Chain A
Amino acid sequence: MCWVTIRARDGLASGVVPGTVQSIERAAAILRVVAGSGGRLGVTDIAAAVGLAKTTAHSLLRTLLSVGFVEQDPATGRYALGPGLLRLGTPLDVNELRARSSNWADALAARSGHAVRLATLIGTEVVVVHHVFRPDDSAQVLEVGTTLPARSTALGTVLMAHAPAPPAELAEVRTRGWAAERGEHEPGMGAIAAPVRTAGGLVVAALGVSGPVTSLFDGRGVPRSLLLAMVTDAAHAVSRELGHSSG
């Protein structure tokens, strides 16, 4: 059967190349088996095919499920390749991103009273793809298409924290799920931003509000809790719109 040859070629059971991560190799082997199986295998067969204990295979499959690389038929329990895997290499269209986020961005601006921007990484540049004016009817210029510094802005920080090989000092941004900017980019002006994810959890954009530091943060520089909740809720809502399932 096809999966037997896969096991032989991968040589998974016969040892590990030095300097590689075992669980990724195991996950890759599982993906090959799932791809070759045409969606006919359950966890027991998959575990056997890659020579792993059923519990180990199960936890790897759960992880692959959570990032959207495999999907499971709820009726039979069998696994197939997931949509997140099929979309790898085709980045989300920025105009599609704007269209899908528009209602949530409008609502965030209306409720928070602040300007809202959505940014994404294009190459290594942080580019504004959507901008909703501060709802006070003052003169403002549409910033769509402008680039922002990656390090001194909240939007850039969120994107860098989730980019390949993120700097160590941004680990905290990843864990807590938001970034703040307190005058680093423009004196007196600040921002709060949170990640926007697609199915599988990949961060594709950052959504945030910007305004005077004094109205976004309290005296100790802590984001105002209601505002922070609005930003993270809106980012979650856009993520759901893009097919991201978990909170």
Chain B
Amino acid sequence: MADRYVLAVDQGTTSTRSLVFDRGGRMVAVRQREHHQYFPRPGWVEHDPMEIWANTQRTAAQVLGDVPDAGDVVALGIANQRETTVVWDRVTGRPVTRALVWQDTRTADLVTELAARPDAGLVAERSGMAIAGYFSGPRLRWILDHVPRARERAERGELLFGTMETWLIWNLTGGPDGGVHVTDVTNASRTLLMDVRSCRWDPDLLAFFDIPAEMLPEIRPSVGILGQATALNRSLPIAGALGDQQAALFGQACFAPGEAKCTYGTGSFLLQNTGTELVRTRSGSISTVAYQLAGEAPRYALEGSVAVAGALVQWLRDGLGLIGSAAEVETLARTVADNGGCYVVPAFSGLLAPHWRGEARGLVAGLTSYVTKGHLARAVLEATGWQTRDVVQAMAADSGLSLPALRVDGGMTTNNLLMQFVADALDTPVVRPMVGETVSLGAAYAAGLAVGVWSDIEALRRNWHRSAQWTPTPERARALTAEYRCWERAVELSIAWGAP
């Protein structure tokens, strides 16, 4: 049998990437195009949906051209930046405003107001998530409230809502000319509008947020045929869609309860599979849908998002000028044997999981004349390790699941000092897969699984190979448990510092 390939589109925060994978899960071609970031006011972040759609078409056509036997590309899967919100006119296909990006904080006041309502407990009860501006439902409400005539037009059924995968699928399948208006269950679970158990739009939540049901896409499984993409140079079934972090969980083959991955990029995102059980969280992690195969029950995950990980290393480079490139942080950190008593809490704009303290502000604690830039570099790297421990502890408290090993991906995983520190801080092995492109691989896996490129998830599991492993050393792990108290105190101080 000729080898068969799967096309994946990774629609991310800064760029859109199209990649082709073979049956071994190996990347054979990639094209990428960045899009503009619009910052119209402090705290506002927007993208142009038309630009992103054009970039998707262009990179997909290019990458299909790169593969000599493009006829053997049999399906398309999509992974997307989550919670970014688009509203458009179903007749013209034009967005009514630019997309409100997941980093956008304009809904803060709206969310405070909604959270103060006596019936606000409904949101966490039904959607599985505490009400926060991080999710897409409040952004949709903001558009309905602020874009002229948006609400009346939405109520008349003239406007459509979607997260990025919905917008792309609608355009790929014909746009105004018969485009399919669907979302995948992982993206829908991030709106605050979906009943996390039944995986349907919840009428009470729609009433709470005052959202017209007419504009909502149909919720579909993540793995299964969503429509036929006719807008590329080749017609392909769109057979999978996942939010990017769920895609990374899928690409890392974390299919069993307890299995977890952490993506270390600008921020860090840790997801742990909890199987068919929805865990009610009390310790600061989020319960979210991990994925759903067509005809099967949804699988759930706990999630811990950390806002600043690699961004702190960037700050060391660009803000302080202590290093010339991000990788040099390891060289600088290795000039000393320990952190010299120094701790850096990177609460640049508050702390996300598991603290959820927007008022916290960053601090450097434990400064003495002994501390050098080497100690500071070490403290910067350790901050990412400590934050991982914060999140893992919260998840363990919520789920009771043990963590057999942490699967990691992202740019910071080439930093051996950090990866060993994470292994020691968690007292758990840390493993890195051979294919670092886990987000797009997850999208390819979802689509390929739906059309039979891979027979089942066991076949995907067999594709996963370790490229490196960091094993905890017992005495270091013990020592770090004592040091962790210092980190916790530094976090408390950063919250106190930012308190009004």
Residues on A lying within 8 angstroms of B by beta carbon are: 93-96, 98-100, 102-103, 106-107, 109-111, 130-133, 135-137, 140, 142, 144-145
Q: Is the CB of B468 within 8 A of A132?
A: yes
Contacts A132-B467, A133-B467 given; indicate if A106 touches B325 (C-beta within 8 A): no
Q: Is the CB of B414 within 8 A of A133?
A: no
> How distant is the Cα of A137 from the Cα of B465 in the complex, in angstroms?
6
Q: Within B385-405, which residues are at the interface with A (CB < 8 Å)?
A: none
A-B contact sample (15 more), CB < 8 A, given A95-B414, A99-B326, A100-B327? A93-B325, A93-B327, A93-B328, A94-B331, A98-B414, A98-B416, A99-B325, A109-B467, A110-B434, A110-B465, A130-B414, A132-B467, A135-B465, A137-B465, A137-B466
Q: Is B435 an interface residue (CB 8 A)?
A: yes
**CB-defined interface of B8-31 with A at 8 Å, one 1/0 digit per residue?**
000000000000000010110000
Grouping DSSP codes into helix (H, G, I), strand (E, B) and loop, the B interface class, with mixed when no group exceeds half, is mixed
Contacts A95-B327, A96-B327 given; indicate if A107 touches B26 (C-beta within 8 A): yes
Q: Which residue of A lies closest to B415 (CB)?
A: A95
> How distant is the Cα of A144 from the Cα of B467 in the complex, in angstroms?
13
Q: Within B24-50, which residues are at the interface with A (CB < 8 Å)?
A: 24, 26-27
> How distant is the Cα of A130 from the Cα of B414 in the complex, in angstroms?
9
Q: Which of B326, B436, B467 has the most CB of A within 10 A?
A: B467
Q: Which residue of B lies closest to A145 (CB)?
A: B416
Residue among B329, B331, B416, B436 making CB contact with A106, cutoff 8 Å: B436
> How distant is the Cα of A123 from the Cα of B24 in the complex, in angstroms?
40
- Cβ contacts A to B, 23 pairs, < 8 Å: A93-B324, A93-B325, A93-B327, A93-B328, A94-B331, A95-B330, A95-B331, A98-B414, A99-B326, A99-B327, A103-B436, A106-B434, A107-B26, A107-B27, A109-B434, A109-B467, A110-B24, A132-B434, A133-B434, A133-B467, A135-B434, A135-B465, A144-B416
Q: Is the CB of B468 within 8 A of A131?
A: yes
Write out the residue numbers on chain B whose beta carbons fall within 8 Å of the beta carbon of A107. 26-27
> How distant is the Cα of A100 from the Cα of B326 in the complex, in angstroms?
11
Q: Which residue of A lies closest to B470 (CB)?
A: A142
Write out the residue numbers on chain A whose beta carbons fall within 8 Å of the beta carbon of B27. 107
Q: Is the CB of A93 within 8 A of B468?
A: no
Contacts A95-B328, A95-B415 given; indicate if A102 touches B469 (C-beta within 8 A): no
> How distant is the Cα of A93 from the Cα of B329 in the complex, in angstroms?
10
Query: Count the B residues whose beta carbon is within 8 Å of the partner chain — how many?
Result: 24
Contacts A137-B465, A142-B469 given; indicate if A110 touches B331 (C-beta within 8 A): no
Q: Is the CB of B469 within 8 A of A136?
A: no
For the A-B complex, the count of residue pairs with Cβ-Cβ distances under 8 Å equals: 70
> How distant is the Cα of A110 from the Cα of B26 in the complex, in angstroms?
7
> How distant is the Cα of A110 from the Cα of B326 in the complex, in angstroms?
26
Write out the residue numbers on chain B whose beta carbons fall within 8 Å of the beta carbon of A106. 434-436, 467
Write out the residue numbers on chain B whose beta carbons fall within 8 Å of the beta carbon of A136. 465
Q: Is the CB of B468 within 8 A of A133?
A: yes
> How distant is the Cα of A103 from the Cα of B24 in the complex, in angstroms?
17
Closest 3 CB pairs of A and B: A135-B465, A99-B327, A95-B330
Write out the residue numbers on chain B whose beta carbons fall within 8 Å of the beta carbon of A102. 414, 436
> How distant is the Cα of A98 from the Cα of B435 in the complex, in angstroms?
16
> How distant is the Cα of A95 from the Cα of B330 in the complex, in angstroms?
7
Q: Is the CB of B328 within 8 A of A96?
A: yes
Chain B nearest Cβ from A202, distance in angstroms:
18
> How distant is the Cα of A140 from the Cα of B467 in the complex, in angstroms?
10
Q: Is the CB of A93 within 8 A of B435?
A: no
Q: Is the CB of A111 within 8 A of B326?
A: no
Q: Is the CB of A110 within 8 A of B435?
A: yes
> How distant is the Cα of A98 from the Cα of B413 in the complex, in angstroms?
11
> How distant is the Cα of A217 from the Cα of B328 in the complex, in angstroms?
37
> How distant is the Cα of A132 from the Cα of B330 in the complex, in angstroms?
19
Residue among A93, A103, A132 making CB contact with B331, cutoff 8 Å: A93
Q: Within B319-363, which residues are at the interface with A (CB < 8 Å)?
A: 324-331
> How distant is the Cα of A145 from the Cα of B419 in the complex, in angstroms?
14
Write out the residue numbers on chain A whose beta carbons fall within 8 Å of the beta carbon of B435. 106, 110
Chain B nearest Cβ from A96, distance in angstroms:
4
Q: Is the CB of A98 within 8 A of B468?
A: no
Q: Which residue of A lies closest to B417 (CB)?
A: A95
> How distant is the Cα of A215 from the Cα of B331 in the complex, in angstroms?
36
Write out the residue numbers on chain B whose beta carbons fall within 8 Å of the beta carbon of A145. 416
> How distant is the Cα of A208 from the Cα of B465 in the complex, in angstroms?
19
Q: Which residue of B lies closest to A96 (CB)?
A: B327
Write out the residue numbers on chain B whose beta carbons fall within 8 Å of the beta carbon of A132. 434, 467-468
Q: Which residue of B lies closest to A97 (CB)?
A: B327
Q: Which of A95, A100, A137 has the most CB of B within 10 A?
A: A95
> How distant is the Cα of A183 from the Cα of B436 in the complex, in angstroms?
32
Contacts A133-B469, A137-B466, A142-B470 given; indicate if A98 touches B327 (C-beta within 8 A): yes
Chain A nearest Cβ from B137, distance in angstroms:
37
Chain B nearest Cβ from A115, distance in angstroms:
10
Q: Which residue of B lies closest to A130 (CB)?
A: B414
Q: Is the CB of A142 within 8 A of B26?
A: no
Chain B nearest Cβ from A143, distance in angstroms:
10
Chain B nearest Cβ from A123, distance in angstroms:
16
